[in-house]
């Protein structure tokens, strides 16, 4: 059983790379953001603190689902930005289930990440719950969401330990500054070699 982990800051291309990987590793993809969106639509939130609790709940659901798949002998691709708490829980899962694991740590130029993040919010291509902090669903008359300033973008996520790997297994650092020129075949070969070496 294989555990392929995609980690990195928001807008680093985790979902794009996950779909690329799935062409060679036909495993289910579990994305924390999709779980969060279900929680946003079902429960909503009335404060930033409530939103953070939903984020923590989504991380727990993600790892519990992954563990059930591994326990049944399955393999899985995980897509999450893994803050400190989620990273510790992932390490515990690995210790219990002992899958072959490889992490793809996606990095990119900070200015590129910010521009992608901003464009995604302005295009409204993501669930609106990601872009608001105070209340979801919004009430009539709630102000439009102001895009995050560049100065706070990386700091907001780095302060939570995102972009750091604190769990087990080989780590492949992948520069996704230009996703269009990413060598898909070389990446798939690296992942396969890292898994088969275990």
Please choose, from the candidates 154, 70, 67, 81, the residue with its C-alpha nearest in 3D space to the C-alpha of residue 112. 154
Domain count within the chain: 1
CATH code of the domain covering residue 45: 3.40.50.300
The whole-number pLDDT of residue 24 equals: 96
Show the domain range for 76.
2-196
pLDDT tens across the length of the chain (198 residues):
999 999 998 899 999 999 999 999 999 999 999 999 999 999 999 998 999 999 999 999 999 999 999 999 999 999 999 989 999 999 999 999 999 999 999 999 988 988 988 888 777 788 888 888 889 998 888 877 666 777 777 777 777 778 789 999 999 999 999 999 999 999 999 999 999 999
> Rounded to two decimals, what is the model's pTM?
0.92
């Amino acid at each position: 059983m294989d555990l392929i982990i995609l980690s990195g800051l928001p807008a680093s291309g985790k979902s794009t790379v996950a779909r690329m990987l799935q062409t060679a590793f036909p495993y289910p993809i579990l994305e924390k953001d999709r779980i969060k969106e279900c929680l946003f639509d079902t429960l909503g939130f009335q404060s930033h603190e409530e939103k953070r609790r939903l984020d923590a709940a989504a991380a727990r659901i993600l790892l519990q689902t992954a563990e059930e798949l591994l326990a049944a002998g399955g393999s899985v691709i995980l897509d999450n930005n893994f803050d400190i708490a989620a990273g510790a829980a992932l390490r515990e899962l690995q210790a219990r289930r002992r899958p072959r694991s490889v992490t793809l740590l996606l990095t990119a130029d900070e200015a590129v990440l910010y521009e992608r993040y901003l464009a995604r919010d302005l295009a409204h291509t993501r669930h609106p719950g990601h872009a608001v902090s105070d209340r979801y669903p919004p009430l009539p008359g709630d102000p439009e969401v102001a895009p995050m300033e560049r100065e706070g973008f990386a700091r907001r996520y780095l302060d939570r330990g995102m972009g750091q790997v604190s769990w087990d297994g080989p780590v492949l650092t992948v520069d996704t500054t230009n996703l269009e020129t990413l060598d898909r075949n070389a990446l798939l070969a690296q992942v396969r070699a890292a898994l088969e070496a275990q």
